[in-house]
Amino acid sequence: MRNSSYRFIKAYALYTTDYYTQSMGLILVYTGDGKGKTTAALGLVLRAYGHGLRSIVAHVMKTLIYRGQWVGEYSALLKMSDLVEVYYMSEEALRTPRDVFNKAIERSIMIKPFLLVLDEVNNAVNGGLMTSREVIDGLRKLPNEVNVVLTGRNAPSEFLELADLVTEFKPVKHYYDKGIVGVMGLEW
Amino acid sequence: MRNSSYRFIKAYALYTTDYYTQSMGLILVYTGDGKGKTTAALGLVLRAYGHGLRSIVAHVMKTLIYRGQWVGEYSALLKMSDLVEVYYMSEEALRTPRDVFNKAIERSIMIKPFLLVLDEVNNAVNGGLMTSREVIDGLRKLPNEVNVVLTGRNAPSEFLELADLVTEFKPVKHYYDKGIVGVMGLEW
């Protein structure tokens, strides 16, 4: 939650409805070393889409071509382009993680999506490509109704503190360990 | 992995390709108390769809109407019905978790999807509505190319043993604890 007046509105809503069903600017963090973080964020996009709600997906650390073809999620999200916008890195256009992030924040301020996915933003901070401060400053600019998902390993402690929900994806067993390093349709 | 001859084929494939990009009958388990298990399974469906690959989604413990309307994922998956089949419980039609499971296995044998999601099947076993033995027997009947995701809290140890990948979704922080018990678009 991003500001105290909004916190009041949310607290009030909890007393007036049994299930609070409206968008409320929640911050979700999907972190940990296990498989499924980006995938779960994509599942949220799917679910929101089913309700006719808008999403913006910002892949701050990924290009959308892998092994000569679009990654699966991009091809799929293109078919939802009536409600979903996707931003991504691009070497040619010199789009850095910061550029992608800023674009996503700017568009979110403009179109007020239900959901903003900042995919791999935790890694961008860990890798020194962005600071947690500038991410948080960006989040504070968002309209109150935008729910945000931050994904990536080792989420900075500032994000954990700010978050309304944190799930750690803990790898108990991974097929990487058997030498299976990538499966099209499951990994990309 | 479901049988030893297939294990051999997979081992061979690992020596002949750098990235094994074909369907290989992997078993993924998404378990733990954290948010995102079903959501991540849905993200896999989205990704597979983007590659033009078929999925079957069996919600063995859920009906698809919630608070008078379809859950978001169902509305969204309907738009992908060229490649995605969804099965679910229904009180009227007396469809139990076992019925939904059996239907999903039967259809998977027939159409050989890339991905079979057995959503909440772990809970069906924990709740005594199915046995882990009959789930595993069903999995063994599947064509080798079908990848399977089993979701739900407290996955039975037999499933963990059989799995190629296990991610535990660990709740570090949850907005339930603040009294927010359900958000449309994020939860359903």
pLDDT by residue (tens digit) across B118-134? 999 999 999 999 999 99
Distance from CA of B126 to the nearest CA of A (A): 20
Closest residue in chain B to residue A149, using alpha carbons only? B186
Q: Residue B45 and residue A166: Cα distance in Å, rounded?
A: 23
Chain B residues inside the 8 Å CB shell of A170 = 32, 167-170
* CA-to-CA separations, A14 to A10, A21, A25, B188, in angstroms, rounded: 6, 10, 14, 18
- B169 and A167 within 8 Å at the Cβ level: the answer is yes
What is the H or E stretch that residue A176 is in?
Answer: none
pLDDT by residue (tens digit) across B62-94? 988 887 888 899 999 999 999 999 999 886 776
Q: How many distinct helices (H) and strands (E) make up chain A?
A: 7, 8
Inter-residue contact B28 to B148 (CB < 8 Å): yes
Task: Indicate the residue of A48, A167, A188 with minimum beta-carbon distance to B34.
Answer: A167
Q: Smallest Cα–Cα separation from B101: which of B60, B140, B136, B129?
A: B60
- B181 and A46 within 8 Å at the Cβ level: the answer is no
Task: Indicate the residue of A53, A72, A79 with minimum beta-carbon distance to B47.
Answer: A72
Closest residue in chain B to residue A168, using alpha carbons only? B170
In order of their start, the domains of chain A are 22-178 (3.40.50.300)
What local confidence, expressed as pLDDT, does residue B138 receive?
A: 97
With a cut of 80, say whether residue B5 has pLDDT above it: no
pLDDT by residue (tens digit) across A80-102? 999 999 999 986 776 899 999 99
Q: What is the DSSP letter of A95?
A: B
Q: Is B120 exposed, middle or buried (0-12, 13-18, 19+ CB in 10 A)?
A: buried
What local confidence, expressed as pLDDT, does residue A21 receive?
A: 41
What local confidence, expressed as pLDDT, does residue A15 receive?
A: 38
What local confidence, expressed as pLDDT, does residue B2 receive?
A: 54
- B165 and A188 within 8 Å at the Cβ level: the answer is no
* CA-to-CA separations, B107 to A75, A167, B84, B113, in angstroms, rounded: 26, 33, 12, 9
Task: Compute the average pLDDT of residues A45-53.
Answer: 95
Query: Helices marked H in chain B — which ranges?
Result: 4-16, 37-50, 72-78, 97-111, 121-126, 132-140, 157-162
With a cut of 60, say whether residue A19 has pLDDT above it: no
Residue in B165, B178, B180, B181 to test binding to A, most A beta-carbons within 10 Å: B165
What local confidence, expressed as pLDDT, does residue A70 receive?
A: 87
How does DSSP assign A3-65, residue by residue? -HHHHHHHHHHHHH-SS--S----EEEEESSSTTHHHHHHHHHHHHHHTT--EEEEETT--SE
Joined together, the tokens standing for residue B36 give: 């995102």
Weakest-pLDDT range from A45-54, B63-72, B106-115: B63-72
Joined together, the tokens standing for residue B146 give: 């079908």
What local confidence, expressed as pLDDT, does residue B176 receive?
A: 77
- At A151, the pLDDT band (50, 70, 90 cuts) reads very high
With a cut of 70, say whether residue B23 has pLDDT above it: no
Residue written as token pair 């494939």? B13
